[in-house]
Structure 1
Amino acid sequence: MLKKLLFALALLATIKSYSQTAQRFFSKEKLTQTGVYYYPEHWPETQWERDIKNIAKLGFEYIHMSEFAWAFMEPEEGKYDFRWLDKVIDLAGKNNLKVVLCTPTPTPPAWLVTKHPEVFLQNNIYQPMEHLSRGNYSTSSDIYKEYTEKIVTQLAKRYGKDNRVMGWQLDNEPARDIDFSPAAQEKFREWLKKKYGTIDALNKAWGAAFWSNMYNNFDQVRIPNQRLLYGVSPHALLDSKRFSVEQLAASLDFQAQTLRRYISEKQWIMTNYMTIGNNVGYDPSRTKHLDFTSYTNYPAAGYNDNGSKSFRMGSMTPLTFSNDYHRSVKGVYGVMELQPGQVNWGPINPQPEPGAVHMWLWHTFAGGTSLNCTYRYRQPLYGSELYHYGIVGTDGVTPSRGGLEFAQYITEVNKLRKQYNAKKAAPQKYVARKTAILSTMDNLWDQDLQKQTTQWNPFEHLMKYLRIAKALGAPVDFVREDADFSNYKVLMVPAYQLVDQAIITKIQKFAENGGQVILTCRTGHKDKNGHLWEAKWAEPIYKLIGAEVQFFDLMMPNTEGKISMAGTEYNWNNWGDILKPFAGTESLAKYTNQFYAGQTAVTKVKQGKGTVTYIGVDTDTGDLEKAAVRKVYADAGIATEDYPAGINVEYRDGFWVAVNYTSQPFNLNLPANAKILVGEKVLPSPGVTVWTE
């Protein structure tokens, strides 16, 4: 009890600094800082000084270390050795490099897991993971939590007041599949008791009356295992997903709270997440004690082949989304792993197009990043990532092409720092287009559980509206339900399936106060437990959209639905809501084939000083959706751009930044007073142009 009390008092002592904005850690005049991962434990000590000097010569400002080094910090239980880390930090300081230290929790040492094999997470065949990997521990294990506290405390006491350490990263790419270990099963039952209180409430929330799936008490509940179950309750699956990500968030928060007992107020705490998708095992918004979040992105790893160069450049969407999403979490964000060259773990691992690494760096800058970092400085000579490029090659000294592009970017950012003007306001034409996209992981998970068609991709639907906003030149924030919507001109609500009356009312008030709302198909089907309403289909949103959703239809892959809007015909075959407008509601688009030909697909209704547009259809090309969204901005008097797919233009801190992911050069339409600072008026492929007005 005394230990808990002292811990709470220590946290109260740091609450003042924690409650301030994360921007306090970063000088606006520096714009952003660039660093690189370095693994001294992988290389002879005789090479450390040479490597650190060369990192500094290339222009890097910090090194990132130790996320996989637990066995070097604590080679035997309770016997700590930080002498090697001290030496590298000393070398960093002598070369004017700052340090980002990481907690080493993704890789428990062999002595720990041999003594306590129960700390491993278990997969869906109840098989525990083993040593020789990473991220193999259960976030529900109290034993692992105890060892985590010990190593994090030792690190914090030793380096928490060291001015050379700028901040801390927790773990590495934290994510979890559903864990079926005994520890997780026990914690799941505790989580359910706290959430529902009684077993009757759980049975109701999970729809347990269906197929006689009732429980008599919480001790009977196990984490639902889809491998062993047919037609398992989607409500139970959704809860298991929520539990899993909340356990992960709690483990990160625990590390952050442990660090804060000892570290300086000048040191920040964050973690780095992988790229978000339909069914990811994390939710950055659920952590409470981190100063900000960061992300990992590898654009060219064999995932994109939509044009002659696209497989070497990737798509602009993942970086665009990651910038806007992570900036929206805390206002500040970082990029901890940005691809430095060819990688080794993709389905196909091509060489990036020359200039692509340079473009990716400027793309992250355009979104507002405060930190850029790359994995890694030296290409490894052993281990599972032998073919993964670094800033230098296998000889340890020769810069790779990506390394030279990093050095080029660093030089260019230094030039921009001299041009920075704190008094320069963002252009009004840009601010006027400011757009919020309402989205939660819960909605993505719930749709993914019951897609209803193989052609429905929840995350891709969300990204479609992000791409449309960017094509119109709109700055975007991703927001949750507790956000202040009044900061935006336009609010997009794509496929927001789980609603309650509170969020419906909040959206309604935003429109009535002059906001422009865009909702899309699959919105309002269910309550927050994932139950359909005991009412007409999606009836709670009828007043908001000024129409009734009569039913929805789904096409076969080779069947074409037809829709006419403003004299143009469009094809659709993914999802179609058939709408019946109320009096006073405009019908903007109608179906022209199938048995409901003549019925409405897109509506618009005036709500107070604003409007609500409902786009009830999902197409492959997105052309119909783009035309409908453009009309919303135009009718509201908001001037927009018309950038083609693959061209992204952003504004930050007095600078315009344009990047080109297409396979052709793009001629920018710059104003007469534009002063180009990086690049040319004609954007090469790939390429970047930075200018001021």
Structure 2
Amino acid sequence: MKIGVDYYPEQWDRALWKSDSDLMAKTGVKLVRMGEFAWSKLEPRDGQFDFEWLDEAISTFSRHAIGIVLCVPTSCPPLWMYETYPDIVQVGPDGNRIQTGIRGHRCLNAPMFIYYAKRITEQLARRYANNPAIAAWQIDNELEAYPCTCETCRGLFRDWLIDKYDTLDNINKAFGNSVWSSEYSDISQIQPPTAYPKAWQNPALCLDFARFSSDTVVKFVSDMSQIIKLENPRAKVTSNTFFCENAPDYYKLFSALDFTSYDNYPPVKLAGETEELSSHAFELDFMRGIRQRNFWVMEQLSGATGSWSPMGATPRPGQIKGYAMQAMAHGADTVMHFRWRTAVKGAEMFWHGLIDHSNVPSRRFEEFAELCKTASKLSVIETTELVSDVAILYSPDNYWAFNIQPQTEGFDYLQQLRYFHAAFTRYGTNVDIISPTSDLTKYKAVVAPAMYIYEKAAAENIYRYVIKGGTLIMTNRSGVKDTCNNCIMEPLPTVYREMIGAEVSEYDPIGETEQTISDFAGNKFTCRQWCDILKLTTARAYAEYKDSFYAGKPAVTMNRYCSGVTYYVGTVCKMDFYESLAGNIMKQTGIPRLKDLTKGVEVTTRTNGLDDYIFFFNNSEEEADITLPKPMYSIIDGNEKDKLTLMPFDMDIVRK
């Protein structure tokens, strides 16, 4: 297991490079990431390249056998490029070019930007692709599906639509342009969504523009990766991502790359007893699920965050080490902290690194050093992976569509996924978050929340899973829209109606109003946001509403379909309901459960097929005691234990 740091040699005096590399080697740092914002240093003038400083920086660290993650610096073109080619700047939904002065302004479709991006990538690849010090490559930085509306993007969007629909008449039909007299009579009339709220605009147009914007970034990443691979086919290429407003299709994005990388900034302040879920276990499992294999963390919390927002609280004792270990527990094989030293200049000077402005290593650095020592003991788990009995399905189309047309106050697509994830992981089981078209046959239970947009391949995949004996959970707002983001004129949940054995006779978007449901055992739970009023066909009621004009009507159903079982949750509840439902389903499907697990303790298991390694992470501010079912060997301290005592944010790993 490798621990690394993000480092910016261009921002520091050369005299610091050697002392920093010496301290890194002494501390146990194995990787350094550099270069993602250094284009102006690498190409100070058009066509004049300066790689000598980068040669020296790479040599300084590699002499300690510290590997280099070299970044292609296309996130920040030099100012001379903006000055010479102002049309490479993105145009916002309002039709105006965005202001330059920070980073990420470039349009990924602008011809001159593409020319220069390919050229700097080629220069770097020719010089370094076969350098043994280079452990991996990173394309750009935190790429998004930028909604650029420049003339180039407008033209390419029109081409994209014609490629998809063939004719203008087909586009008019797909978009429903008879509404509001919106038919296109010429292709030039097709425009991207404007600065008006998305909910005021054509939802079919908005969804296709999101798809187009995502395809743009996927093509850019693929093109840059191929340039590097031409120089060295064995080069490992990735790009770092995060959960952003303009989220791309992560599945497509990383299909063109060798592995997934994530920027991980878990919250320092925990949610306590509220319904808010503060653990980043969901985000980490999401990243592992993109390619269904282990991943890297390219940026990890190192100190108080704050640049474009006021500074947050500093990490509590144990969080620097604990959150890095949590990432490993969920499949991260490499964790790189952002950053080695806090910047003293520029907008990010208060996004703190491991070493503060004083340049004196303190508490957080000492904890990082302890992490490096612990990671050096974990070679035994380097070949392990997580094997899960439960999967949750995430769809980019659903994410985009819900952002375009919010359903009711408080309703959040990702939050529904998080509820189910928290419920199942509460019992210590591994959970995968995967695409709806992934192979589902290996899972004992699959959760398909809010399958809002119909996708034929996904629907057929889900049906096959249940027909062959799988246990499925679906939720409200499923089967609502066709693939064009238009409503389907059938009783909800339309294509899934037969499988769930019920249909929606009416629905009530109640927003933040709280009501009550009661399950088959008489347990009462609070529901809110959305209420599907269900009419049973072959299903049985699992829970019923207790309030409003639909009191006594089913709120949750269970239906046996062919060899499988489908549950349908017609409302949105608080966490206690999801924990109860998950516990019952795990019991019915034979998924092992850890009972009476201390709140805040997270349990995951990594395996190599012969040995299982169980990670116990205390993600709380209270000490936690855990009694093991039998004595187990700890690979952290080398002792056999029948009980674990974990301090706040502490972790132990035992061999089963």
Q: Which TM-score band applies after superposition, normalised by the shorter structure? A: over 0.9
The unaligned stretches of length 5 or more in structure 1 are 1-31
Partner in structure 2 of residue 402 of structure 1: 364
Partner in structure 2 of residue 281 of structure 1: 247
Task: Deviation per CA, 1:125-162: give whole Å up to 9, x if none.
Answer: 32223443111100121110010110000000000110
What amino acid is aligned across from residue 270 of structure 1 in structure 2? T
Shift of 1:285: 1.2
After superposing the two structures, state which structure 1 stretch, 44-53 or 157-166, moved more.
44-53
Shift of 1:416: 2.6
Does residue 504 of structure 1 match 2:459? yes
Q: Give the conservation status (yes or no) of the 8 Å contact 2:58–2:68.
A: yes
Task: Deviation per CA, 1:612-642: give whole Å up to 9, x if none.
Answer: 11111101x2222322232222122333224
Structure 2 CA distance, aligned partners of 1:126 and 1:527?
Answer: 30
In the TM superposition, what are the counterparts of 1:197-596 in structure 2 within 5 Å?
197-227=166-196, 231-265=200-234, 267-275=235-243, 279-287=245-253, 288-300=255-267, 306-307=271-272, 316-329=278-291, 331-345=293-307, 346-396=309-359, 398-417=360-379, 419=380, 434-583=389-538, 585-596=539-550
Shift of 1:594: 1.0
Q: Give the conservation status (yes or no) of the 8 Å contact 1:299–1:315.
A: no
Of 577, 589, 592, the residue aligned with 1:636 is: 589
TM-score (norm 2): 0.93
- Select the structure that is richer in strand: 2
Shift of 1:601: 1.0
Identity %: 27
| Secondary structure at the counterpart of residue 231 of structure 2 | coil
Shift of 1:596: 1.2
| Secondary structure at the counterpart of residue 560 of structure 1 | strand
Structure 2 CA distance, aligned partners of 1:464 and 1:130?
Answer: 39
Does residue 652 of structure 1 match 2:602? no
Q: Give the conservation status (yes or no) of the 8 Å contact 1:275–1:297.
A: no
Of 48, 59, 67, the residue aligned with 2:28 is: 59
Partner in structure 2 of residue 16 of structure 1: none
Partner in structure 2 of residue 11 of structure 1: none
Partner in structure 2 of residue 23 of structure 1: none
Shift of 1:263: 2.2
What amino acid is aligned across from residue 454 of structure 1 in structure 2? E
Structure 2 CA distance, aligned partners of 1:633 and 1:230?
Answer: 39
Shift of 1:677: 3.5
Structure 2 CA distance, aligned partners of 1:257 and 1:473?
Answer: 41
Q: For this pair of structures, how many residues does the alignment match?
A: 643
What amino acid is aligned across from residue 187 of structure 2 in structure 1? F
Structure 2 CA distance, aligned partners of 1:207 and 1:683?
Answer: 58
Does residue 664 of structure 1 match 2:619? no
Task: Deviation per CA, 1:20-50: give whole Å up to 9, x if none.
Answer: xxxxxxxxxxxx2111111111111122111
| Secondary structure at the counterpart of residue 136 of structure 2 | strand
In the TM superposition, what are the counterparts of 1:5-24 in structure 2 within 5 Å?
none
| Secondary structure at the counterpart of residue 378 of structure 2 | helix
What amino acid is aligned across from residue 35 of structure 1 in structure 2? G
Q: Give the conservation status (yes or no) of the 8 Å contact 2:530–2:571.
A: yes
What amino acid is aligned across from residue 297 of structure 1 in structure 2? N
Structure 2 CA distance, aligned partners of 1:639 and 1:372?
Answer: 30
| Secondary structure at the counterpart of residue 400 of structure 2 | helix
Structure 2 CA distance, aligned partners of 1:382 and 1:229?
Answer: 38
Q: Give the conservation status (yes or no) of the 8 Å contact 2:6–2:336.
A: yes
What amino acid is aligned across from residue 54 of structure 1 in structure 2? L
Task: Deviation per CA, 1:456-497: give whole Å up to 9, x if none.
Answer: 011111111111121122212222233111121111101111
Structure 1 CA distance, aligned partners of 2:599 and 2:505?
Answer: 34
What amino acid is aligned across from residue 357 of structure 1 in structure 2? I
Task: Deviation per CA, 1:549-599: give whole Å up to 9, x if none.
Answer: 21221225345344444111122121111112223x221111122111111
What amino acid is aligned across from residue 380 of structure 1 in structure 2? A
Shift of 1:217: 2.4
Shift of 1:114: 0.6
Task: Deviation per CA, 1:593-612: give whole Å up to 9, x if none.
Answer: 21111111111111233211
In the TM superposition, what are the counterparts of 1:60-139 in structure 2 within 5 Å?
60-139=29-108
| Secondary structure at the counterpart of residue 681 of structure 1 | strand
Shift of 1:328: 3.6
Structure 1 CA distance, aligned partners of 2:50 and 2:576?
Answer: 60
Structure 2 CA distance, aligned partners of 1:527 and 1:382?
Answer: 50
Structure 2 CA distance, aligned partners of 1:42 and 1:61?
Answer: 21
Structure 1 CA distance, aligned partners of 2:361 and 2:125?
Answer: 34
Structure 2 CA distance, aligned partners of 1:118 and 1:270?
Answer: 28
Structure 2 CA distance, aligned partners of 1:98 and 1:516?
Answer: 45
CA change 1:149–1:543 in 2 (3 A) is: same
Structure 1 CA distance, aligned partners of 2:86 and 2:416?
Answer: 42
Q: Give the conservation status (yes or no) of the 8 Å contact 1:589–1:603.
A: yes
Partner in structure 1 of residue 640 of structure 2: none
Shift of 1:682: 2.1
Q: Give the conservation status (yes or no) of the 8 Å contact 1:444–1:459.
A: yes
Partner in structure 2 of residue 37 of structure 1: 6
Task: Deviation per CA, 1:60-118: give whole Å up to 9, x if none.
Answer: 00111100000111111111110001011111221111111000001000111110010
Q: Give the conservation status (yes or no) of the 8 Å contact 2:218–2:256.
A: no
Of 634, 648, 656, the residue aligned with 1:685 is: 648
Q: Give the conservation status (yes or no) of the 8 Å contact 1:326–1:333.
A: yes
Does residue 174 of structure 1 match 2:129? no
Structure 2 CA distance, aligned partners of 1:262 and 1:83?
Answer: 20
Structure 2 CA distance, aligned partners of 1:201 and 1:282?
Answer: 26
CA change 1:318–1:209 in 2 (3 A) is: farther
| Secondary structure at the counterpart of residue 91 of structure 2 | coil
After superposing the two structures, state which structure 1 stretch, 54-63 or 504-513, moved more.
504-513
CA change 1:207–1:645 in 2 (3 A) is: farther
Structure 1 CA distance, aligned partners of 2:205 and 2:191?
Answer: 10
Shift of 1:281: 3.2
TM-score (norm 1): 0.88
Structure 2 CA distance, aligned partners of 1:127 and 1:645?
Answer: 50
Shift of 1:501: 4.4
| 4+ residue runs over 6 A deviation | none
Shift of 1:452: 2.5
CA change 1:421–1:252 in 2 (3 A) is: closer
What amino acid is aligned across from residue 257 of structure 2 in structure 1? L
The unaligned stretches of length 5 or more in structure 2 are 638-642
Structure 2 CA distance, aligned partners of 1:283 and 1:509?
Answer: 24
Q: Give the conservation status (yes or no) of the 8 Å contact 1:556–1:573.
A: yes
| Secondary structure at the counterpart of residue 601 of structure 1 | strand
After superposing the two structures, state which structure 1 stretch, 169-178 or 319-328, moved more.
319-328
Structure 2 CA distance, aligned partners of 1:347 and 1:460?
Answer: 25
Structure 2 CA distance, aligned partners of 1:197 and 1:317?
Answer: 46
| Secondary structure at the counterpart of residue 486 of structure 1 | coil
Structure 2 CA distance, aligned partners of 1:43 and 1:406?
Answer: 21
Structure 2 CA distance, aligned partners of 1:156 and 1:330?
Answer: 28
| Secondary structure at the counterpart of residue 24 of structure 2 | helix
Shift of 1:185: 1.3
Does residue 627 of structure 1 match 2:593? no
| Secondary structure at the counterpart of residue 280 of structure 2 | helix
| Secondary structure at the counterpart of residue 50 of structure 2 | coil
